Amino acid sequence: MAKDWKERLGTVYSTNSDFEYEYDEFEEEETLAPEEQKLKVTLDNKKRKGKTVTLITGFVGREDDLKDLAKILKTKCGVGGTTKDNEIIIQGKFKDRIIEVLKSLGYNNVSSV
């Protein structure tokens, strides 16, 4: 894959013919196994116009794996939701049901706040 010119915007110009641009390499964290995850499940209604959502925080891993877990939880609860800032946001009050689903998926270290 060719390096994108947008990744080297910090360098103005170099007259050195051997100059190598330094690229920011972003490497995603490896996803921990479910039994190693330490997830927290909380209810929240701040900045949501009074609507309550269930937040799942503490997930360590790739964004795709977080989205897959969110999809499972949304399906099991029959509601909408999203992922944002390494959190899963599920619409509504589903704390107990989400804890049950997470434990059935092997996430044994789940705490409720």
pLDDT tens string 53-93: 999 999 999 999 999 999 999 999 999 999 998 999 999 99
Overall number of domains in the chain:
1
Residue 48 lies in a domain: yes
Residue 80 lies in a domain: yes
- Identity (one letter) of the amino acid at 30? E
Domain residues for the domain of 36 are 30-112
Retrieve residue 31's tokens: 């996803």
Beta strands in 1-113 (DSSP E): 39-44, 53-57, 81-84, 87-91, 110-112
Looking at residue 5, what is its pLDDT? Answer: 59
Tell me: pLDDT of 38 over 60.
yes
- pTM of structure: 0.74
| Radius of gyration from C-alpha coordinates of the chain | 20
Tell me: pLDDT of 17 over 70.
yes
Retrieve residue 29's tokens: 């964290």
Q: What are phi and psi of 64, to 5 degrees?
A: -65, -40
Residue 107 lies in a domain: yes
Give me the CATH number covering residue 52.
Answer: 3.30.780.10
Residue with tokens 């891993």: 61
Tell me the pLDDT tens digit for each residue of 43-54: 999 888 889 999
